[in-house]
């Protein structure tokens, strides 16, 4: 059974950048539904139910039932992506990258401002629903990308790349407060990022 990550902050704590009703709806309705639907789908393919979520997402082409595979792709992706999303947001914490991650960001993209520009552009250019990502590989390299729907780099690269930061650009992530202004939401999202957590993710991916 997969469980939503527990939040160590309140839904209202990200105000005024991310509003409390969006946070509550996002976590208790959307993320909860992805998690429940994933667990329900796994009951149909119990031989896959003991895998970790990342391994599961890399093995979807071996799930014989195509409808079940698609359900796990959508909802397993939704489960995984939102666990990442909610744990990298937090009031307080480091406001900017630091240490070896900051150095790698500068080496790869030219600096934090340049990285934000690239992620913002990917977020705005994503047509319809999806995500923008900062990902790492075992060598410690970084790259940015975007995915449709609830896909992610783990699924797309069969685990070669792991996201360490994800920007949810589904309308449910911002529409109550920002309406059609996705770029304004993305700009606000950077204000509630906790780079301590993103640095931990980077360290965990690197070998």
Per CB under 5 A, the segment of 93-101, 121-129, 152-160, 169-177 that binds Mn ion is 169-177
**Alpha carbons 173 and 35: distance in angstroms, whole number:** 17
Q: Is 88 in the site for Mn ion (CB under 5 A)?
A: no
The residue (of 19 and 101) whose beta carbon lies closer to Mn ion is 19
Q: Is 168 in the site for Mn ion (CB under 5 A)?
A: yes
Q: Could you tell me the smallest distance in angstroms from the CB atom of residue 170 to Mn ion?
A: 5
**Alpha carbons 95 and 85: distance in angstroms, whole number:** 16
Q: Is 86 in the site for Mn ion (CB under 5 A)?
A: no
The position carrying tokens 């340049």 is: 114
Chain position whose Cβ is nearest to Mn ion: 168
Q: Could you tell me the smallest distance in angstroms from the CB atom of residue 131 to Mn ion?
A: 9
Task: Check: CB of residue 75 under 8 Å from CB of residue 147.
Answer: no
Q: Could you tell me the smallest distance in angstroms from the CB atom of residue 69 to Mn ion?
A: 21
Contact partners, residue 113, CB within 8 Å, separation at least 6: none
Kindly state the DSSP code that residue 191 receives in the 8-state scheme. Answer: G
Q: Tokens at residue 46, please?
A: 């119990």
Q: Could you tell me the smallest distance in angstroms from the CB atom of residue 85 to Mn ion?
A: 7
The residue (of 33 and 114) whose beta carbon lies closer to Mn ion is 33
Q: Could you tell me the smallest distance in angstroms from the CB atom of residue 84 to Mn ion?
A: 11
Footprint of Mn ion on residues 24-43 (CB under 5 A)?
Answer: none
Per CB under 5 A, the segment of 13-21, 40-48, 134-142, 166-174 that binds Mn ion is 166-174
Task: Check: CB of residue 91 under 8 Å from CB of residue 141.
Answer: no
Number of residues that bind Mn ion (CB under 5 A): 3
The residue (of 97 and 130) whose beta carbon lies closer to Mn ion is 130
Q: Tokens at residue 177, please?
A: 């407060």
The residue (of 185 and 202) whose beta carbon lies closer to Mn ion is 185
For 143, other C-beta atoms within 10 Å of its C-beta total 15
**Alpha carbons 149 and 127: distance in angstroms, whole number:** 10
Contact partners, residue 160, CB within 8 Å, separation at least 6: 137
Q: Given the rule CB under 5 A, which residues bind Mn ion?
A: 168, 170, 173
């Amino acid at each position: 059974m997969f469980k939503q990550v527990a939040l160590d902050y309140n839904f209202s704590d990200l105000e005024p950048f991310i509003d409390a009703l969006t946070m509550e709806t996002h976590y208790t309705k959307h993320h909860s539904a992805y998690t429940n639907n994933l667990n329900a789908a796994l009951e149909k393919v119990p031989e896959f139910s003991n895998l970790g979520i990342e391994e599961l997402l890399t093995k979807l082409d071996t799930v014989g039932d195509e409808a079940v595979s698609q359900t796990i792709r959508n909802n397993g992706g939704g489960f995984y992506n939102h666990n990442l999303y909610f744990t990298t947001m937090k009031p307080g914490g480091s406001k900017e990258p630091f240490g070896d991650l900051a150095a790698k960001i500068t080496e790869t993209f030219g600096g934090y401002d340049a990285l934000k520009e690239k992620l913002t552009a990917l977020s705005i250019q994503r047509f319809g629903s999806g995500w923008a990502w900062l990902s790492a590989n075992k060598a410690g390299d970084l790259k940015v990308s975007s995915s449709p729907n609830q896909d992610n780099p783990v699924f797309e690269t069969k685990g070669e790349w792991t996201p360490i930061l994800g920007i949810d650009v589904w309308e449910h992530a911002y529409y109550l407060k920002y309406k059609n202004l996705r770029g304004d939401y993305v700009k606000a999202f950077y204000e509630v990022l906790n780079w301590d957590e993103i640095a931990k993710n980077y360290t965990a991916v690197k070998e």
